[in-house]
Structure 1
């Protein structure tokens, strides 16, 4: 017996050791197959660390499990900055027998624990999930896996679907999913369980669900051959609202076929109440409720571009009531009967019938009904009647820190058809009256008092010209400051109006009562305005028939917010209104740290405010003793890392602005005596005779800034530069540093008339590779010394007077094309030698110049004299001119300097003197020039190709930045998920932040 036990124990130990050893023995084999499968099927960047992979046979014996931690997939352009998938931990199960003995391991299970999926579809339909290699390419190689998955498990997954083509956005958090089934079969049953937080569902700008919990379990009958998915025995819930869903969805071709029924399940009135925004909160469980509800319907038919399924949705609430804990009064007698039905395949023929709707707010009843026959002729029959005591609201709803008083009466009926062609609208009789309104916040000692509103809408005949909106009285009082207004609108087609507003509003006091997060606003707005006219006259441009008169004053106004951290302070402003225009007669302000005064006028303002696609015209004169532009060209006022960003200009504003400023701070420039005229028209800002004193001289410019294409903003300027300091231009202007690096070692002044155009990057700096321009650079008197180029020439030529060059009355013809500055051949004096210089500087800092000089032989010192003494039969003397051709390459600070066609200055002198230079020098330098031009053409061609590639890259980067406006919605959704779930932000997986296995195909 003992022997038998020992044998059994030994066998067990052997098996245990074998099971432990198997993962290590076959780890490389399994990982190699995983790498191979990724390489053959995934067209994206797959990131993981070899050291984060582990294997085990104990997790799902008899399967072997591969566990991968910190796994990520990022797309290829244009999705290279989007993480499609990030997984904290992914476990994949393989059939152990297939691993040991088969050529192709069988995949049997997948388990995801923690991570995020971000699906993004661009406006043109490109999708970041489209990462599979086309099937015809995959077919050429054998698959390395057999798919026999029978279990899929997901835990703690965040999912965002951002479809910009459909304008659809969905964010789900904490997704838990469990699915079982033989996924390789054509027909199988799949039990599915799921729960998640619905953070946001928005379609075409309308939000449908936000911050709702979802859970569900169902059996799905899958028929892959017919692409049919049938639901049965299911139970679903959104918050506390339970419902069944059964039927099928089929995708036989491009159409989608629905046959679905749904119904509420074991619900009470409290269930439907849980869907109301603001009510489903921490105190929801304590809310007292009663009443019954019933919900059911169906969705059946074909969905495609021309057809929409029919549907019938019914909701009934009877004797509903709810009361918040610790509050004395309920909302009671809630009864709703609603039916939304469409028996056709045309969505416009939907009928909405709310045959009953009533509830009591405390002791005040509200009741109504609505019948909307369709969405084409809008035949309507409805009414709403109710009375609300605002003081009772604080006894019904938890409104902390707010006291309300006043009575609100509403009585409205509408019946008839809306037909703009036949000039028919429903007959309407609607009245709203608010009397003795009172609002007091705990944060401010004084109330908004004597708040009264008397409004009515009347049309008894159904004719558009009998339509009347009459806001006969609107007003309130706040600490003895009162504002009153009225407006009367007649004729639905002509829209004749007659209104007025008069009084004072202290916006600081209003903000104390109704605070806005992260916003400070204070000051007084005083108005006395009357307006009378017709929208028909606006459409026809008959502005002389419009009569808007009065004035508006702003005093001690201040505004700052997260989006405007610099702040705006208006000390005193006054605007007079006439039918033709608004005259700004006074404007004394400080924008950020910059004082600013202005005057001018706006015209076409009625058309601009009342019609689409109209242009606001105006003329302004702006003056400032010191204006800091930098403060307005950063994303946030206090961030050291903020960058200049492209400024979009409105296309429907036509302004002419005369500007005068004693000092302007722009980037690292200090501009003095700034004046000129600017015109903003059709989204382009043009400058005319804009002059300034800067960098020791004066600049006058004409030109334009055109950001209509935000991905490729353009500039085109003509500069007249007078006596600018060369040194200051080098230190202040990055373009000079790159294209004219020689300026670093030049002292003196220069003048030029230069045309300059190109593209701006997203940091508002010129894209050097895009620059084009031409002009003449004039240098009256300058010194060039201590340059690495001069030191190189001295070392090469052995000339003893080349460490400094003095320039006088020098005119240099300059061209810039595709970011390459070219100096056309120019004759000048270098030191005391006649020379001809030509060449170019690239946007990458490279230089390529040819210097043809005529140097007297005696200037080369003893080496020339010794040569002259040894050469007989020559007429050469110490004054004989030696042609010296010097090539400058490399970069300015690291130049490569050589003699054209020669190895050393000694051989140059020898050959030149022996060939009686005077007769040969032109031929020698012509040959050097010819060789230089051939090399220069090749360099220019290469730089042009690089320029085009860089501009294309810059445009793609700009397109990415422009799309970041929509990406903010994604980030906000992620913030919501983190805030609601309490999770820390997971790192974004990028290639340079993860250790990638270099021995395997870890990145594809």
Structure 2
């Protein structure tokens, strides 16, 4: 017996050890097969760390499980900055038998725990999920022997964002949990499915249809892959507390989508539908007292394609509804609603909305009405809204924390008829709105807004546009002995005639305390006395003499700052008077950020601009400042960090002429003095005229333009004249000088230049060096060059004792810049009292390529030349004989490569030059060296031009990416909502892993 037990224990131990060891024995085999499958099928960057892979046979015995942490897929261009999927933990199950005894591992299960997916479809239809190689490429590749036998898929705590910019559809789901089990290898199979998720956002064509709703569902689906048909069986679904059933199928036979779905509420009460109302579905929802019945049902049947939609019929009925918060004295009761939304044609325009009756009581205040919309083409409507609401009583039902409201709001409105702008028909309308004895008191401010009143009537008894009239008889309020009052009448909907006035004073600081805005500081008083009378027809035809708009507006002690405007603006005093054709700014004394600013001028065409589309606001302004810090406006944070600069977009519907004068302007690292000039902003382009300034010890005059109409490719084109600027300061201040004229680092003196200069700006508002083009003449009256690696190299090469310093006088350099290459045309000058000629180029990549031809007396080469002279008999050569020396400069300025052209040594150069004199040979050594230099230079220029084109293309693509990112606000908002609702659960920063182990 004892022996038997020992044998059993031994066998058990061996099996246990084997089960633990098997994963490690076959780890490389499994990983190799996975890598092979990925490489042959996926056209994207798949990242994971070999060391984050573990294996076990105990997680889902008798299957072997491989677990991978931090796994993901990043798309190829144009999606190289988008992570398609990231998974915190991915468990893949394999058939143990296929691992032990076969060559083809069989995949049996997928488990995904934590992560996110971002599906993105561009406007042109390209999608980041399209990462599989085409079938013909997969067939051409080595055939995979990987087997699929999945019978279980499990997803936990996963986020999904679907951003389809072609369909203008956006969906964000969070906290997805799903389990599905079935024989996924079959073409037709049943799939028991459980799922829950947070619906953070669903938006279609700019309209939000659902936000922050909890979804859960459990159903039995039938999957028919042959027909691409998905059938829903019996199941339970819920949105928040609203329960419903869904039956039928969705099929994708070809391009169309076929729907045949029936849905209905299930075991619901009135409280269930309330759970879909965001303001009511809060943490206290479970304590809400409710009563009433609710019935919901509908169907969706037909094809969805570009030409049609499925027909549908959705109805909602509520009877005797009531809800009341336990701690509040009054309920909302007597809630009754009968609503139907129906479409029987499959044409969206034929959709009909019918609410024959609804009513509810806010405490003792009843509200009732009806609404019928026959279609979405002629908009035939028949509506009624009637009710009276005591605001103090309403806040006893829906309290507003820290706020007291009083007053009575009375609404009585009917509308019936058709809207047809061509036939000039509108519904007959009779609507009255009256707010009396309005009172608003905030706990943040001791005094209330009182005597708040609005008396408005909208009337049209015939349905004709010219009989339409709006009469806002009176509106206004008082706040601590300061009042604002006004009136407005509008009639004739076709001509849009108006007659209105507003007069009084409002304290913005007091209003902000009563109605606070997060992270906003505002104070100051606005005093107005305006009368206006006219018609839209007169505006269209610019008959300003028939418009009567007059009065003035005065702003004093104004201050405003916010998160989006951290620099802030303070207006000490500003006055503007109005006339029909213009607004005159007669006074404007302000400080924008830390910069004082005084302005005057006028705006014209303002009526057209505000009342019509595609109109241009015109104006003329004069701006004066004693010290303007432009750096405050170049970054969101207000810090002068060029890495945070962004392209400044200019409005295309503004036509301004501006005269600017500033004693001092701070821009980047420049201090500009006595700045003045004229600027014209038109069609989104800013033009500079005679913009002069003192800087870097000299004077600069600028003419040109800045054109950011293509935000991914903003251009500039300037002509500037510079007089007597410091070479050293220019090197420190201008990046273009540092790159294209690095010799300026060791030059002391001043320079002048007249130059045309154009190119493209990067997204940091800095010039893209490879795009620069220019032409001009640079003049240097006197300069000194010393401590230069080039001079040291020349002195070492030539043994010329005076070559370590250089004095330059009356230098005129004709220069051109093409694709970021500075070309210096051949010019003559004196180098160390030797006649010389210099030519060459400097590239945007810092490379230099120059040729220096000098005529040096033989005696300057010292003992070596004298020895050679002594060996040559019967010669006219002597110490004053000029030796042609051609020096090539390559490499970079800080690390130059210096040599004699043609690869000569100094000894051979001297020997050949002196012998050529003796034998009277006329070979021109200088011309030969120049010819060789130009041949090499042409090759280098072609290489640099190609590099420039590649770089500019790369910069443009990056710029287009940034422009696209600015249009992805909905995406970022959805991500923020997911983070907020889900409790800021941490997500890893996804980056490709480069440590993947190579196959041995």
TM-score, normalising length: structure 1: 0.98
Root-mean-square deviation (Å): 1.3
> SS of 2:644's equivalent?
coil
For residues 231-282 of structure 1, give each alpha carbon's deviation from its aligned partner in whole angstroms, at most 9, with x where no partner exists: 0111111110011111101110001110011100001000000111211111
What secondary structure is seen at the aligned counterpart in 1 of 2:24? helix
Q: Is the 8 A contact 1:47 1:989 kept in 2?
A: no
Are 1:719 and 1:753, in contact at CA under 8 Å, matched by a contact in 2?
yes
Alignment of 1:50-449 (within 5 A): 50-140=50-140, 141-449=142-450
Q: What secondary structure does 1:139 align onto?
A: helix
Q: Distance in 2 between matches of 1:824 and 1:264?
A: 84
TM-superposed deviation, 1:478:
0.6
User: Does 2:517 correspond to 1:519?
Assistant: no
**Deviations 1:715-756, CA, capped at 9 Å, x for gaps:** 000011111111110011010000000111111111111000
Structure 2 distance, partners of 1:637, 1:159, is 35
Mapped contact 1:301–1:308 kept (Cα < 8 A): yes
What is the CA–CA distance in structure 1 between the aligned matches of 2:920 and 2:956, rounded to whole Å?
A: 55
**How many correspondences in the alignment?**
999
Q: Where does residue 602 of structure 1 map in the other structure?
A: 603
- Structure 1 segment 866-945 matched on structure 2, within 5 A: 866-916=867-917, 923-945=924-946
2:995 counterpart of 1:996: yes
| More moved, 734-743 vs 541-550 | 541-550
Question: How far off is 1:176 after superposition?
Answer: 0.2
> CA 1:859–1:390 in 2, change beyond 3 Å: closer, same or farther?
same
Give the SS at the match of 1:844: coil
Aligned residue in 1 for 2:744: 743
Distance 1:848 1:995 in 2: 38
Structure 1 pair 917–256 and aligned structure 2 pair: CA distance change class (3 A): farther
Per-residue CA distance 1:90-146 (angstroms, 9 max, x = gap): 000011111222232111100000111111112222211111111111112212311
Partner residue in 1 for 2:44 = 44
> 1:35 touches 1:1000 (CA, 8 Å); kept in 2?
no
User: Contact 1:635–1:645 (CA<8 Å) still a contact in 2?
Assistant: no
- SS, match of residue 329 in structure 2: coil
Give the equivalent residue in structure 1 for 2:756. 755
User: Is the contact made by 1:431 and 1:455 (CA closer than 8 Å) also made in structure 2?
Assistant: yes
For residues 387-430 of structure 1, what are the alpha-carbon distances to aligned partners after superposition, in whole Å with 9 as ceiling and x for unaligned? 00000122101311100000000000011111222221111000
Cα distance in 2 for residues equivalent to 1:191 and 1:546: 72
Inter-CA distance 805–364: structure 2 relative to 1 (3 Å threshold): same
Query: Aligned partners of 2:13 and 2:888: how far apart in 1?
Result: 81
SS at match of 2:91: strand
For residues 838 and 623 of structure 1, what CA distance do their matches in structure 2 show? Answer: 46
Q: Are the counterparts in 2 of residues 636 and 642 from structure 1 also a CA contact under 8 Å? A: no
In structure 1, the residue corresponding to 2:902 is in which secondary structure?
coil
**Structure 1 residue 17, shift from structure 2 partner:** 1.5
Contact 1:597 1:623 in 2 (8 A): yes
Alignment of 1:558-577 (within 5 A): 558-577=559-578
Is the 1:881–1:918 contact (alpha carbons within 8 Å) kept by the matching residues of 2? no
Query: Offset of 1:6 from its aligned partner?
Result: 2.6
Contact (CA 8 Å) 1:546, 1:579: kept in 2 or not? yes
Contact 2:916 2:923 in 1 (8 A): no
How far apart, CA to CA, are the structure 2 residues paired with 1:428 and 1:708? 45
Tell me what 2:820 maps to. Answer: 819
1:6 matches 2:31: no
Distance 1:639-1:995 versus aligned 2 partners, 3 A rule = farther
- For 1:638 and 1:325, the matched residues in 2 are separated by 52
Point out the more displaced range, 701-710 or 909-918.
909-918
Do the aligned partners of 2:643 and 2:764 also contact (CA within 8 Å) in 1?
Answer: no
2:29 aligned partner: 29
> Does the residue aligned with 1:395 lie in a helix, a strand or coil?
coil
Secondary structure of 1:916's match?
helix
1:148 deviates by 1.1
Deviation per residue, 1:565-609 (Å, 9 max, x gap): 000111100011001100000000000000000000000000000
Please show how residues 468-483 of structure 1 align to structure 2 within 5 Å.
468-483=469-484
Q: Tell me: CA distance 1:985–1:972, structure 2 relative to 1, closer, same or farther (3 Å).
A: farther
Question: Is 1:47–1:996's contact at 8 Å kept on the other side of the alignment?
Answer: no
Query: Under a length normalisation based on structure 2, what TM-score does the superposition of the two structures give?
Result: 0.99
Q: Deviations over 1:760-786 (max 9, x none)?
A: 000000000000000011111111111
Query: How far 1:527 sits from its partner (Å)?
Result: 0.8
> How has the CA–CA distance of structure 1 residues 313 and 184 changed in structure 2, closer, same or farther, with 3 Å as cutoff?
same
Shift of 1:918: 10
Q: Is the Cα–Cα contact under 8 Å of residues 631 and 638 in structure 2 kept in the other structure?
A: no
1:620 aligns with 2:621: yes
2:312–2:342 contact (8 Å) kept in structure 1? yes
Distance 2:326 2:76 in 1: 55
Whole-angstrom CA distance in 2 between matches of 1:51 and 1:378:
65
Q: Which moved further from structure 2: 163-172 or 318-327?
A: 163-172
In 2, distance between residues paired with 1:784 and 1:721? 21
| CA displacement, residues 887-942 of structure 1 (integer Å, 9 cap, x when unaligned) | 00000010000001243212211111111179557611111111101110010000
Q: Which is bigger in relative contact order (C-alpha 8 A, separation at least 6)?
A: 1
> Would you say the 8 A contact 2:634–2:640 is kept in 1?
no
CA contact (8 A) 2:89 2:112 kept: yes
Structure 2 counterpart SS, 1:800: coil
Whether the 8 Å CA contact 1:153–1:177 is kept in 2: the answer is yes
> 2:537 aligns to what?
536
Does the 8 Å contact 2:916/2:922 carry over to 1? no
Q: C-alpha separation between the residues in 2 aligned to 1:456 and 1:872?
A: 119
Distance (Å, rounded) in 1 between the aligned partners of 2:265 and 2:613: 46
Which has the larger displacement, 14-23 or 282-291? 14-23
Q: How far is the alpha carbon of 1:11 from its aligned partner?
A: 2.0
What does residue 848 of structure 1 align with? Answer: 849
Cα separation, 1, equivalents of 2:481 and 2:919: 101
